[in-house]
Amino acid sequence: MKRKIYHKSTFEKTSRERQIKVYWAAISVFSQKGYEAASVQDIAQKAGISVGSLYSYFSSKEDLFKAIAEMGYAVLEQIVTEWNPQKEDSFRSAMTTLFRMTLEYSRKYPDLSKLYLLLTTDSLNPFSEQLSKEMEISFRSAYAHLLENAREKGELRSDIDLEMAGYFIDNAAVMLQFSQTSKYYQNRLRQYLGLSEDEEMPDDRIVSALVNYICDGLTHEEK
Partner DNA sequence: AATGAATGAGCCTTCATTCAT
Partner DNA sequence: AATGAATGAAGGCTCATTCAT
Name residues contacting a copy of itself, limited to 150-189 (CB under 8 A).
150, 155-157, 159-161, 163-168, 170-172, 174-175, 178, 182-185, 187-189
User: If contact means CB under 5 to 8 A according to the sort of partner, which of a copy of itself, DNA, none does residue 51 touch?
Assistant: DNA
Query: 91-108 and 61-83 are packed helices; what angle lies between their axes, rounded to 10 degrees?
Result: 150
Judged by CB under 8 A, the residue of 9, 17, 52, 123 near a copy of itself is: 123
Q: Is 19 in the site for DNA (CB under 7 A)?
A: no
Could you tell me the smallest distance in angstroms from the CB atom of residue 35 to DNA? 9
Judged by CB under 8 A, the residue of 92, 96, 101, 138 near a copy of itself is: 92
CA distance 130 to 66: 10
| DSSP-H helix ranges across 14-138 | 16-37, 40-47, 51-57, 61-83, 91-108, 110-120, 128-134
Nearest to 26 by CA among 6, 2, 10: 6
Q: Is 116 in the site for DNA (CB under 7 A)?
A: no
Q: Is 37 in the site for DNA (CB under 7 A)?
A: yes
In three-state secondary structure terms, 171 is helix
Q: Which is nearer to a copy of itself, 67 or 210 (CB)?
A: 210
